Structure 1
Amino acid sequence: MTWQFAAILGGLAVVLALVLWALWEFAVSAEQRRLIASRSALAEAEYRASTPSARLDAAIHRTQWGARLHRRITRSGAEIRLSTFVVGLTGGSLLAVVVVWQVLAPFFGLLAAAGVAFLFFSYLNRAQAKRREEFTAQLPDLARVLGNATSAGLALPTAVAMAAEELDGPAGEELGRMAEQMKLGASFEESVQDLRERMPSRELGVLLSTLVVSSRSGGSLVTALRNISTTLENRKETRREVQTILSETTSTVWALGFMSVGALFLINAIEPGIMRAMTTSAAGIAVLLVVAALFTVGFTLVSRITKFDL
Structure 2
Amino acid sequence: MDNLPLLTVGVTLLACVLGVVGVHAYSSGTAQRQALVARMSQAGQLTALPGRRRRFTGIDRRLRTTRLGRRIEREIAATGLDLTPGEYVVYVVVALLGVYLTVGAVFAPFFGVLGAVVCVWGANAFLNWQRAKRTEAFINQLPEFTRVLANATQAGLALRTALAMAAEELDDPAGHELAVVADQLAVGQTLDDALGELADRLPSRELIVLVTTLILANRAGGQVVTSLRNLTQTLEERKETRREVTTMLSQIKVTALAVPLLGLGFLLMINTMSPGALDKMTGSVTGQFATLIAFGLYALGAFLIRRMSKIQV
> Is it true that 1:58 corresponds to 2:90 in the alignment?
no
> Is it true that 1:235 corresponds to 2:235 in the alignment?
no
Within-5 A mapping of 1:204-219: 204-219=207-222
- Tell me the equivalent position of 1:109: 112
Give the CA deviation at 1:116.
Answer: 1.7
Three-state SS of the structure 2 residue aligned to 1:154 is: coil
- Tell me the equivalent position of 2:129: 126
Q: Distance in 1 between matches of 2:289 and 2:206?
A: 47
- Tell me the equivalent position of 1:275: 278
Query: Greater shift after overlay, 105-114 or 220-229?
Result: 105-114
Q: Is the 8 A contact 1:49 1:55 kept in 2?
A: no
- Summarize the Cα distance change of 1:104–1:166 in structure 2 as closer, same or farther, 3 Å threshold: same
Identity of aligned residues (%): 40
User: Structure 1: which 5+ runs fail to align?
Assistant: 1-27
TM-score (norm 2): 0.82
Q: Distance in 2 between matches of 1:234 and 1:37?
A: 56
- Summarize the Cα distance change of 1:37–1:92 in structure 2 as closer, same or farther, 3 Å threshold: farther
- Summarize the Cα distance change of 1:48–1:128 in structure 2 as closer, same or farther, 3 Å threshold: closer
Point out 4+ residue stretches in structure 1 off by more than 4 angstroms: 35-38, 40-52
- Summarize the Cα distance change of 1:114–1:145 in structure 2 as closer, same or farther, 3 Å threshold: same
Q: Is the 8 A contact 2:256 2:303 kept in 1?
A: no
Q: Is the 8 A contact 2:104 2:112 kept in 1?
A: yes
Q: Is the 8 A contact 2:260 2:299 kept in 1?
A: no
- Summarize the Cα distance change of 1:43–1:97 in structure 2 as closer, same or farther, 3 Å threshold: farther
Q: Distance in 2 between matches of 1:44 and 1:105?
A: 55
Among 293, 296, 301, which residue is 1:293 paired with? Answer: 296
- Summarize the Cα distance change of 1:46–1:140 in structure 2 as closer, same or farther, 3 Å threshold: closer
Query: Greater shift after overlay, 279-288 or 129-138?
Result: 279-288
Q: Distance in 1 between matches of 2:175 and 2:267?
A: 46
Give the CA deviation at 1:47.
Answer: 8.7
Q: How many residues align?
A: 281
Q: RMSD value over aligned CA atoms? A: 2.9
Q: Distance in 2 between matches of 1:240 and 1:190?
A: 31
- Tell me the equivalent position of 2:267: 264
TM-score (norm 1): 0.82
Three-state SS of the structure 2 residue aligned to 1:302 is: helix
- Tell me the equivalent position of 2:16: none
Q: Distance in 2 between matches of 1:189 and 1:149?
A: 19
Q: Distance in 2 between matches of 1:247 and 1:210?
A: 33
> Is it true that 1:253 corresponds to 2:256 in the alignment?
yes
Within-5 A mapping of 1:28-107: 39=37, 40=40, 53-107=56-110
Q: Distance in 2 between matches of 1:37 and 1:85?
A: 33
Give the CA deviation at 1:102.
Answer: 3.6
Give the CA deviation at 1:48.
Answer: 8.2
Q: Distance in 2 between matches of 1:37 and 1:162?
A: 37
Structure with larger Rg: 2
- Tell me the equivalent position of 1:165: 168
